[in-house]
Amino acid sequence: MDLKLHDLTTGYGRHTVSHNLNARLQTGLLTCLLGPNGSGKSTLLRTISGAQPPLSGTVTPTDSRTLSIVLTSRIDISHLRACDVVAMGRHPYTGYFGKPSPQDDDIIRQAMQTTGTLHLSHRNMTSLSDGEAQKVMIAKALAQQTPVILLDEPSAFLDFPSKVSLMLMMQDLAHNHGKTILLSTHDISLAIKTADTLWLMNADGTMHTGTPRQLIDTGHIATYLGDSSQYL
């Protein structure tokens, strides 16, 4: 499922963060959202997810059965096992207090198998490393079975091998499982090597989009970094 931004302006109250954004997330592609601190990456993700309203413009579509989001910060789920957290992804279909059906259990199991977390099923979330916990949250998003997945700095607290593993997983979910994925990151080298498309936020609230090669050739990556040659 494609997701489209049309003349989207984001911000808080009278404070505009980004303006007149037009872009499309395409099915089966991994898109990385880049930009300096304060450029509005998290605000854009929250607006796309429906967590906060746009100042103007539209995002289509957005609801809990078409879009899921994975945040960097851990929510207070310390009393839950990994499988319980992944099962929360089925709440749009069962209700908060609904009991998962055998079909739901199969979906939960498959989500954990896909993310390599099945062996963590009965581990308490407090016992997991940052990388393991992040993969469990991604499994939760997969269990929600939304065609679109948003991730806000999913590799922020991971070591380099774990970052590479996570980005390759996102690439696989897009290419081989038909997911439409947008993730924000500061890891420019990994983004250039793994993303199909880049959204590059500017400090002035505008955004450039294109393939990594296109944004390198047009000089937008060089402007952002000062020198992009080390990432080619």
Same domain, 80 and 132: yes
Chain center to CA of 114: 16
Percent of the chain past pLDDT 90, that is, above it, reads 71
Shared-domain flag, residues 16 and 45: yes
Residues 200 and 121 occupy one common structural domain? no
Q: Is residue 82 part of a domain?
A: yes
Domain membership of residue 98 (yes or no) is yes
Q: What is the pLDDT of residue 148?
A: 95
Question: For 28-32, 43-47, 95-99, which range has the lowest pLDDT when averaged over its residues?
Answer: 95-99
Mean pLDDT over all residues of the chain? 90
- What's residue 95's pLDDT? 65
Q: Please tell me the predicted confidence (pLDDT) of residue 13.
A: 85
Based on the fold, state whether residues 94 and 14 are members of the same structural domain: no
Instruction: Report the distance separating Cα 132 and Cα 96, nearest Å.
Output: 25
Which one of 122, 145, 168 terminates a domain?
Answer: 145
pLDDT exceeds 50 at position 141: yes
What is d(CA 67, CA 166) in angstroms, rounded to the nearest whole number?
Answer: 20
Q: Is residue 115 part of a domain?
A: yes
Same domain, 160 and 231: yes
Query: Are 58 and 154 members of one domain?
Result: yes
Give the span between the Cα atoms of 180 and 61, in whole angstroms.
12
pLDDT of amino acid 232: 47
Q: Specify the pTM.
A: 0.89
Instruction: Count up the domains in the chain and report the number.
Output: 2
- The string of pLDDT tens digits covering residues 191-203 is 999 999 999 999 8
Is the pLDDT reported for residue 231 higher than 60? Answer: no
Task: Return the H-helix or E-strand segment holding 60.
Answer: strand 56-60
Question: In the chain, what percentage of residues exceed pLDDT 70?
Answer: 94
Could you tell me the residue range of the domain that residue 119 belongs to? Answer: 76-145
Same domain, 155 and 229: yes
* pLDDT of residue 34 exceeding 60: yes
Residue 152: CATH number of its domain = 3.40.50.300
pLDDT digits (tens, 9 = 90+) for 46-92: 999 999 999 999 999 877 789 999 987 666 677 899 999 999 999 88
Q: 125, 145, 165 — which closes off a domain? A: 145
- What does DSSP assign to residue 119? G
